[in-house]
Structure formats: structure tokens, C-alpha cells
Amino acid sequence: MIKIEKLVKTYGNHIRAVDGLDFTVRNGEILGFIGPNGAGKTTTIKMMTGILKPDSGNVMINDYSMRTQALKAKQEIGYIADSPDLFLRLKGIEYLNLISDIYGVSTKDRKERIKEFASRFDMLEALGDAMQNYSHGMRQKIMVIGALVHNPAVWILDEPLTGLDPKSAFALKQMMREHADAGNSVFFSTHVLEVAEKLCDRVIIINHGKKLFDGSIETLRENRKEEDLEKIFLEMTAYE
Ligand SMILES: Nc1ncnc2c1ncn2[C@@H]1O[C@H](COP(=O)(O)OP(=O)(O)O)[C@@H](O)[C@H]1O
Ligand SMILES: [Mg+2]
């Protein structure tokens, strides 16, 4: 479970990127965090994962407070950043072993998990190649595997589907569903509302760091009296 309480983050003196966000992601749920570019999604996610310190407010991960029990909170999280271009000199398998070492994943567990995830993403053969020779999509897939190799309960994914080919996107969506169905929280951001339609149990739409909507896609359609999600999204985020 993820609980966000009155989060605020201002860059410099005036850009209020996140402006008093409150929400909860329950166990068993996939929550889509949706907003146009610059809406404040990545800033929120960086505070959720403890990378950025909020000006005020707090984040709870499975009842651990990011303010007072950050290490415990972070150990619960599998995080995929929005840019997969770190550690490019390493081979895929070297990167995954590094992450496994950091999290203390046993040799047996890491072998099993890396084999399972890599085969679902068609990455088994590429594990021995340097990541600088990977495509964007392949880098993204390695980051996904790295985020999951310590078997975290809470998944926090920043634009995880960007750059993935249809087959890998399908595999990841399936994994997200399985993980939520096993009773865990899955939270991911996207700037495309349609992505959320089939996948999410609930969506939160934000713009200018503020929450515009929190509920199911069906409720959103009913509220707006409109079927076309793209139209709804553009209308909702058009106002300055
Ligand atoms: N490091 C930073 N310094 C100053 N402004 C930033 C920084 N990171 C993001 N911003 C600004 O904060 C706002 C929210 O950005 P971001 O959280 O990246 O949005 P999103 O992920 O929804 O595209 C934008 O106006 C962006 O320009
Ligand atoms: Mg972003």
C-alpha cells in the first residue's frame, strides 16, 4: 500500500511542481497516474521513492514512513526511472547482478528471477551484451528486470511502457496484473490516458501538480458524458 499525504515540492522559488497531492494506492490495485508532460508526475514519483525530499507532506509505503523509516520503506519498492540510460558500460547480466548484490538477493533466487523475466521479455540472448549496444526498448526491459529482481511488494514505475515494443509492453502489463492480483500495489505513470483503459483499476489525473480526478475510467466517462478518452484528457488538461 502507498499513501501520499499533502505532498508539496517547489523547484527554485516559484515552480510548484507538486501542489498538495493526496492519494492512496491499495493492495491488489493497479493505479494509473496520468498527466501531460510537465504535470508533476516524475517529481511525485521521486518523492514517493525517497529520491527527492518534499517541502512538506509525507509518503507511506506499506506503513513505513519515508520521513522516519526511509530504508525500510525503500526496501519495499521496485522502481523504474523514466530514463533507462544508466550503467551503459555494463553488460545486461552484470547490471542485474549488481542490483541483486545491492539488495542481497541469493544466487539461487536471482538466477530463477532473471531467467523468468528475461525469457518473458525475449532478453535471454542479450544478457551477455553491453547495454550501450541495446536499443531503448531493450534498456527499458533490463531496468524493469532490475527493478523486480529483489521481489519488491510495491511497484512504482515512471512511464514504463514508453519505448517498449508491443510484445514486451503486453508482457509487462501482464506482469503488473499478476503482481496486483497477488495482493500488491502497482503504481505507474503515463501521459497517454488510453494506456490506462484496460490496465488500471483506478486512475488519478493531475496537471500543474494538482489532482483533477481520482476514480475509475467508467466513472470518468460518466462524469464527463463523453466516450472518447483522448477528448476527455485534452479537455481536462487544457485549462491553465
Ligand atoms: N530539477 C528541476 N528543476 C527545476 N524544475 C524542474 C525540475 N524537474 C522538473 N521541473 C519542473 O517541474 C514541473 C513538473 O515536472 P515533472 O515532474 O518532470 O513532470 P512530468 O513527469 O509529469 O512530465 C515542470 O514544470 C518541470 O519543468
Ligand atoms: Mg516525467
- End position of a domain, from candidates 93, 122, 152: 152
Q: For residue 189, what is its C-alpha cell?
A: 505513470
Residues 108 and 169 in one domain: no
Do residues 164 and 239 both lie within one domain? Answer: yes
Tell me how far the alpha carbon of residue 45 lies from the centroid of ligand 2, in angstroms. Answer: 9
Domain boundary among 152, 178, 205: 152
With a 6 A CB cut-off, is 143 part of the ligand 1 pocket? no
* Mean of the per-residue pLDDT values of the chain: 93
pLDDT the model gives residue 195: 83
Residues 144-197 have pLDDT tens digits of 999 999 999 999 999 999 888 899 999 999 999 999 999 999 999 998 888 888
17 lines ligand 1 (CB under 6 A): yes
* Residues 66 and 173 occupy one common structural domain: yes
Instruction: Pick the closest to residue 31 from 41, 39, 40 (CA basis).
Output: 41
Report CA-CA distances (Å) from 143 to 3, 80, 153, 154, 166. Answer: 25, 6, 17, 16, 17
* Residue with CA at minimum distance from ligand 1 atom 5: 11
Number of C-beta neighbours around residue 119 at 10 A: 11
**What single letter denotes the amino acid at residue 121?**
F
Based on the domain organization, do 170 and 181 belong to the same domain?
yes
Range with lowest mean pLDDT among 73-87, 125-139, 151-165, 224-238 = 73-87
| Span from the CA of 228 to the centroid of ligand 1 (angstroms) | 28
Residue 45 CA, closest ligand 1 atom number: 17
Q: Is the pLDDT of residue 80 over 70?
A: yes
CA-based radius of gyration for the chain: 18
Contact 117, 143 (CB under 8 A): no
Instruction: Kindly state whether residues 178 and 148 are assigned to the same domain.
Output: no
Based on the fold, state whether residues 104 and 125 are members of the same structural domain. Answer: yes
Specify whether 183 is located in the same domain as 66: yes
Name the nearest CA neighbour of 53 among 22, 21, 84, 10. 10
Domain identity same for 66 and 92 = no
In short, whether 190's Cβ falls inside 6 Å of ligand 1 is no
Q: Are 59 and 162 within one domain? A: yes
Whole-model pTM: value is 0.90
CATH of the domain at 58: 3.40.50.300
Q: How many domains does the chain have?
A: 2
- Same domain? For 11 and 92 the reply is no
The answer on 238 and 165 residing in a single domain is: yes
Q: Using a 6 Å cutoff on CB, does residue 39 contact ligand 1?
A: yes
Q: Clarify whether residues 158 and 232 are in a common domain.
A: yes
Ligand closest to 43 (CA) is 1
Mean pLDDT of 198-223: 95
When pLDDT is averaged across residues 91-118 and rounded to a whole number, the result is 94
Percent of the chain predicted with pLDDT > 90: 76
- Whether 207 is in the pocket of ligand 1, judged by its Cβ within 6 Å, is no
Establish whether residue 43 lines the binding site of ligand 1, counting it when its CB lies within 6 angstroms of any ligand atom: yes
Domain end position, chosen among 121, 152, 183:
152
Whether 131 and 88 have beta carbons less than 8 Å apart is answered as yes
Average pLDDT over residues 198-210: 95
Q: Which residue's alpha carbon is nearest to atom 27 within ligand 1?
A: 38
**pLDDT tens, position by position, 22-52:** 999 999 999 999 999 999 999 999 999 998 9
Q: Is 37 in the pocket of ligand 1 (CB under 6 A)?
A: yes
pLDDT classification of 239: cutoffs 50, 70, 90: low
| Range(s) of the domain holding residue 132 | 85-152
